[in-house]
Amino acid sequence: MLFTKKNLGPAKYFLGLEIARAPEGLAITQSKYIKDILTDLGLHEAKSTNTPLPTGIKFTTHSDQVLHRPAVYRRLVCRLLYLSFTRLDISHATQQRSQFLQTSCKQYWDAVVHLAKYLKGTTQKRLLFPSNRELNLQTCCGADWASCPDSRRSLIGYYIFLGPALIS
């Protein structure tokens, strides 16, 4: 078989990821992807919020008002899961919403809209992979003991930095 190839140079935009190279390192963001989500929801003129989750909210499997179009909710949550690739600040909130894809209700929809409003105010957040050669390994872990009201399971979170770059 014969294949042709073409060098397009360094990547700048790939699968919704915006890649910028600079002397200080490599920056990855998804600001256009966020703007597309906000436009699809009709929230491009909405006021932003300061937190990804409304305060004091607990999600349970017992739903109140069932959504008439649950496919829209599921698609939005899937888009947010993809967005959490570069936006680690929304990974917990998105994970909380993805647990209830089969039983979507108005409370879950309102929480997803709240998250979208949070994203509106933080479109310029990015992952930065610095070009310096510092290789200190830092880790941190936290847990919320038995916080799930349905299963009484704990929520655990962690991060791992290699130098100043978040790797997991």
- CA 75 vs. chain centroid, Å, equals 14
Position 87 scores a pLDDT of 83
- Kindly state whether residues 47 and 83 are assigned to the same domain: yes
Asked whether residue 114 is domain-assigned, the answer is: yes
Between 148 and 96, the more confident residue is 96
Question: What is the domain extent for residue 109?
Answer: 13-131
Residue with tokens 């967005």: 83
Asked whether residue 2 is domain-assigned, the answer is: no
- Kindly state whether residues 125 and 137 are assigned to the same domain: no
- The strand order across the sheet containing 137-144 reads 137-144, 155-162, 165-166
User: What would the mean pLDDT of 7-26 be, rounded to a whole number?
Assistant: 87
Average pLDDT of the chain?
82
Residue 128: count of CB within 10 angstroms of its CB: 16
- Kindly state whether residues 95 and 82 are assigned to the same domain: yes
- Kindly state whether residues 35 and 116 are assigned to the same domain: yes
Percent of residues, the chain, with pLDDT higher than 70? 90
Asked whether residue 3 is domain-assigned, the answer is: no
- Kindly state whether residues 137 and 127 are assigned to the same domain: no
- Kindly state whether residues 47 and 65 are assigned to the same domain: yes
- Kindly state whether residues 82 and 19 are assigned to the same domain: yes
Query: At 106, is the secondary structure helix, strand, or coil?
Result: helix
Quickly state the pLDDT bin for 168 (edges 50, 70, 90): confident
Cα 34 to Cα 91: distance, rounded to the nearest angstrom? 14
User: What would the mean pLDDT of 15-22 be, rounded to a whole number?
Assistant: 88
Position 113 scores a pLDDT of 87
- Kindly state whether residues 46 and 117 are assigned to the same domain: yes
pLDDT in tens, 33-42: 999 999 998 8
Asked whether residue 38 is domain-assigned, the answer is: yes
Q: How many domains does the chain have?
A: 2
pLDDT in tens, 43-96: 888 888 888 877 777 666 666 677 777 788 889 889 999 888 888 888 878 887
Position 150 scores a pLDDT of 65
